[in-house]
Structure 1
Amino acid sequence: MARRPNKLIPESFTPVPSERARPAVTVVDDLSDVDVVGVVVHTDGAVPDELGLSREALTRTGFDAKVGSALVLPTEESPFRVAVGGGPLADQGEETLRDAAAALGRAAPRAEHVGLRLPALGGVDPQAAAQALTEGVVLSRYRYAGLKSSPTDPPLAVLRLRLDGAELAEAGAGAATGSVTARATSVARDLTNTPAAHLTAPDLADVAVELGRTYGFDVEVFDEAQLIAMGCGGLLGVNRGSVEEARLIKLVHAPEGGRQHLTLVGKGIMYDSGGISLKPSDPMHLLMKMDMGGAAAILGAFTALRESGVACRVTGFLACTDNVPSGGAYVLGDVLHTRGGTTIEVKNTDAEGRLVMSDALVLATEEAPSAVVTVATLTGAALAALGPAMAVTLGNDQALVDRVRAAADATDERVWQLPLERRYRKQLDSDVADISNLGGPYAGAITAALFLEDFVDDVPWAHLDICGPMQAESDEAWRSKGATGFGARLLLELARGFESAAPGGSTDGGDLPA
């Protein structure tokens, strides 16, 4: 990928190392040509004969077959076996299958050729089952190795699935889908894990252009001169302290015949020091290279739109800069002039994400889309409210929020809806400008969303505050330590079904999901 010269960074460095090593995923009826075979064992029913152990023997080893458990049974010859817990067969679903497959990935971290057998579908659609199994193994094996001179674990090269009772073609289609969705998340993880010096706003624009060429979406990049001409004072104001120019990156997926138009707006703060309102030097400060996780999730999702057959028009706006202090940085009390004319009083320079997104939201609504979804690592309040397991969602259109929630359920990227309580809007009032960028000490996730609502112009809108689940402190199921890529699969799932129904409660060829 094209990068600007930097004497401290080798030209060979790529911000998306996983682009170079995608596993080949197939559905087969013979798993003899792999290094390791995982076999799903349920807590009820017969134990598959190929493990060579009875349930009593497995129990004596401590293997209880609960979802997420695994027992390695090594042999002198390949392939060795891994018993993988599947839980009760009656409870089997896409989520349990994804987690069971992830347990295999964790149990065989060095195997380059992996096989996985599912002896019983248990009522799960074969295509959905194969997709979930693929996602579980591939995502659990993810490691960011872009800056390691000697990676400790080899990448997964081959994944073969055997689903008893399923037609190869049907399950194969699901595996292919799972490979694409896992790739979307891996791209988002790569970008979010990359240090800020290795991935500036101009760098991310270069990456987007290259990914667009590869995966079939259009990219338009707006530089500083264009942003000035466009009146994007929110983005430019935050950028004032940086030696790196800001970039607004527009992504477009425009299939023929698409009637609905979904727009995604992402926060792309490449590094957030807090600006003049400097953050304390604690572990959270170290994670602020991940403050562009919303933009990364959108870009990851875009790599999968064409191959997933998304029928609606999808536009992405990524508002990108770093937020650092300097002699030229914006300060408390400044008033920023945004696109569309709204003025914003700066009460805290660490509430910068909403400032850069204000310009992008105005540009988005100027195109009169069917709906807008904002995605951002926006507030620590979201993390404090819900912890690291789920994101906050809320919005001005319940039908759209419900669709976001349904996509979250389908992908196991969990969200919880908070109320868009407009009684808190007065906290954002300013004596000198149209609005201020900070509310009171409480309900921070809600007041941040209320700020964004001022710029959506009554378009159906839903918001995802992904500060909590943006990263994992340790490996957990298919979530690998580091950046999780949260939102990439959720947004892709939302876009896949968006053409069939319009937000705002109306339908066009299908009902809104509950």
Structure 2
Amino acid sequence: MAIPKLTVLKDAAFQEQSVAGSAYDALVVVFTDAARLTSSNMPFTKAIQAVAAVDPSVGQQVSLLYNETVPGGRLVTCPTGSLNDDTDDVRKFSAACRAATARAHQSGARRVLYYFLDPPQDLPGYEKWLEVSLLGIFAESYITLVVRRHQELTKQQRVGDRLDEIAFFANTPNVSTDSLNETTRSVLAIEKGRRVHLDMGYGDPEQMTPLNCAQYIQDTLASHPNLRVTVLTDLATIGIEYPLLHAVARASILVPRHRPCVVTIEYTPSDPSAVREHAYLVGKGVTYDTGGIDLKTGGAMRGMSRDKLGATSVAGVMAAIAELAPSHLRVTAELAFVRNSIGADGYLSDEVLYSRTGKRVLIGNTDAEGRLIMTDLLSQCRERVLAQRTTDPRPVHYHIYTVATLTGHVIRAYGHYGAFLSNGPAVRAGVPDRLIQAGERWGDPYEQSRLRPDDFAKVAPGSDREDVCQTDHMASSATARGHQYPAAYLIIAAGLKPHGNAAKPEEQVCYTHVDIAGSAEEAHSQGMSLCNLTGNPVPSLTAALLDL
């Protein structure tokens, strides 16, 4: 996986490279105040002043100007717009840098120098403005694996990113070189993780079957010294260990390339004795969701190759964490890859299935398969947390997350934002605060939902024939609390209900469910194409786990 070179320039180096004839072929000036842009003492200022005299929009929108004093003769002005209105946030930097990068590339530039003229100083919510800016640049430079494979197949001259090198100078005299170097290290690690997520996420149902997803993870991550990747493909074992996942996969098993698998990725620091936190991440990886026997109709099946983004984003988080190599944290990821196909052996509404815990689950709709394939993996993580507490006397904090493109309701409720719900022990441990703060700092804001008695009442058994109801027959977007009550189902079916606030401290288990159905995709598509992917929640979830 090739990532463009990222270079930090000091003041003297920037002065040398920001003129014509340097190693770069475009200069992008990022600014928040147009007055600062036209009053600076840089060589290109007069050219901007001349244009601004006849076209004030040069300070209000991305513009490409020819100027013989700058690299390649290409000068791109990049205004962020306001930063302190009531609804402004750090995404202003990402959006501006993406637009400027697209314009520079459109003009033929491949080695671009960025000058951050007047960064925000001590403005709340903008602590990671530089990281978010650089991630925006990388996002615009990224070429999907689908296209890279096409480039190789058609023997195109260039294979890979739109940019070859990204260099930047930040006008921040009080920030040390060491701090800037640490920034680039974090950005490169998160960008590597984000590209793992996007490479798989963009793959169509045949390019990224369950087994192909597993193979990609093995090829990309297994060689990392701090990661251990294992893949379970044996159907008999899956049926015993993860009976609900196996039930969802029943209709796909007759097609060998569509068969399910479970991928486990374990990050262990070089000194395990230093571990003070152990996070478990469970990812939903439905590589195509037909809806099963409760078939998606009316065009609702379109885009369902993206129903694997929970699992692919968790794989990306693991790649980023391995690069950053925290000493205090251990992370175990369990990824369920399965295709929800239609077939004679498909699981059915009205079936009662047994979960790993022995709970009897009444199926209400086969299109609510995501919560099923995560249930037994979540239960397994619960078992491991309780077992590790028994065998390891150290004060290690354990927390479990499920990450999924789970419901249309979360989009109906919040638009294109992620949402999460935490159980009582997780709330007391401050997990929601970590997610909220990380999302705000890294440009992937979350909405916090709450578990209510209504959610548990919704999935409660109505007869002695079941222990928990999976869902009703209606789409989540047409159901009250449609993204909240699935968390209650998961808590009951996975055996977490006895491990809430009422349990003894040593028996409590922190659990948070993250629904990324809204935040994983951009809000709009181009023409009849599928929406582009955002790369979220890799930056925010990585930052939350590492307190970045």
Q: TM-score range by the shorter chain?
A: 0.7 to 0.9
Q: 1:36 matched to which residue of 2? A: 26
1:239–1:246 CA contact under 8 A, matched in 2? yes
- Which residue of structure 2 lines up, in the alignment, with residue 433 of structure 1? 466
SS at 1:367's partner residue? helix
Note if contact 1:196-1:270 (Cα within 8 Å) is conserved in structure 2: yes
Distance 1:179 1:448 in 2: 35
Where does residue 449 of structure 1 map in the other structure?
487
* Structure 1 CA distance for aligned equivalents of residues 444 and 165 of structure 2: 26
* 2:442 matches 1:391: no
Deviation per CA, 1:309-360, whole angstroms, max 9, x where unpaired? 3231111111110101111111111122221211211110000000000011
Which residue in 2 is equivalent to 1:155?
162
Tell me the C-alpha RMSD between the 2 structures.
2.8
Q: 1:409 Cα deviation (Å)?
A: 1.2
CA distance in 1, matches of 2:346, 2:100: 49
Tell me, in whole angstroms, the C-alpha distance in 1 between the residues paired with 2:515 and 2:82.
Answer: 34
Shift of 1:170: 2.9
CA distance in 2, matches of 1:197, 1:171: 42
Cα deviation for residue 405 of structure 1 reads: 1.3
SS in structure 1 at match of 2:77: strand
**Match of residue 305, structure 1, among 317, 321, 341:** 321
**Relative to structure 2, which stretch is displaced further, 94-103 or 351-360?**
94-103
- The alpha carbon displacement at 1:61 in A equals 2.6
Structure 2 Cα separation of the partners of residues 353 and 385 of structure 1: 19
Q: How does 1:77-476 map to 2 (within 5 A)?
A: 78-87=72-81, 94-110=90-106, 111-123=109-121, 128-144=128-144, 145-146=147-148, 148-149=150-151, 155-164=162-171, 165=173, 166-215=175-224, 216-225=226-235, 227-228=237-238, 230-242=240-252, 243=255, 244-255=258-269, 256=271, 257-282=274-299, 284-310=300-326, 311-368=328-385, 370-388=398-416, 390-396=417-423, 397-398=426-427, 399-430=430-461, 431=463, 432-439=465-472, 441-454=479-492, 455=494, 457=496, 458=499, 459-474=509-524
> Aligned ranges for residues 49-68 of structure 1 at < 5 Å?
49=42, 50-55=44-49, 57-58=51-52, 60-63=54-57, 65-66=59-60
Residue type at the aligned position of 1:386:
Y
Question: With structure 2 as the length reference, what TM-score do the two structures score?
Answer: 0.80
Give the stretch that moved more between structures: 210-219 or 298-307: 210-219
Percent of aligned pairs with the same residue? 23
Could you tell me which amino acid in structure 2 is paired with residue 161 of structure 1? F
Which of 23, 26, 33 lines up with 2:4 in the alignment?
23
Against the structure 1 CA distance between its residues 467 and 330, is the aligned structure 2 distance closer, same or farther, given a 3 Å change threshold?
same
Residue by residue, what CA displacement relative to the aligned partner does 1:244-288 show, whole Å, maximum 9, x if unpaired?
221111111111211211111111101001000111242x42210
Number of residue pairs matched by the alignment? 472
- Residue 464 of structure 1 aligns with an amino acid whose one-letter code is V
Residue in structure 2 matched with residue 70 of structure 1 by the alignment: 62
Q: Secondary structure at the match of 2:36?
A: coil
* 1:62 Cα deviation from its structure 2 partner: 4.7
1:345–1:433 Cα contact (<8 Å) kept: yes
The runs of 5 or more residues in structure 2 that have no matched partner are 386-396, 500-508
What secondary structure is seen at the aligned counterpart in 1 of 2:514?
strand
Q: For residue 94 of structure 2, what is the amino acid of its counterpart? A: R
The alpha carbon displacement at 1:167 in A equals 4.2
- Structure 1 residue aligned with 2:533: 483
Q: CA deviation at 1:211?
A: 2.5
Question: 1:158: how far off?
Answer: 0.4
1:493 corresponds to which residue? 543
Q: Deviations over 1:184-231 (max 9, x none)?
A: 212211211100111111111222222222433111222233534643
Contact 2:141–2:161, Cα closer than 8 Å, also in 1: no
Query: How many Å separate the matches in 2 of 1:129 and 1:488?
Result: 17
The one-character-per-residue Cα deviations of 1:97-117 (angstroms, maximum 9, x if unpaired) are: 333322322222342211101
TM-score under structure 1 normalisation?
Answer: 0.85
CA contact (8 A) 2:519 2:537 kept: no
Distance change in 2, residues 1:58/1:463 (3 Å) = farther
For 1:35, give the aligned amino acid.
Answer: D
User: How far apart in 1 are the matches of 2:79 and 2:102?
Assistant: 13
Q: Please list every run of 5 or more consecutive structure 1 residues that lacks an aligned counterpart in the other structure.
A: 1-18, 499-514
> How far does the alpha carbon of each residue in 1:397-433 deviate from its partner, in whole angstroms, 9 at most, with x for none?
3221221112211211111112211223222134322
| SS of aligned partner of 1:189 | helix
Query: What amino acid maps onto 2:101 in structure 1?
Result: G
1:6 match: none
Which structure's CA Rg is the greater one? 2
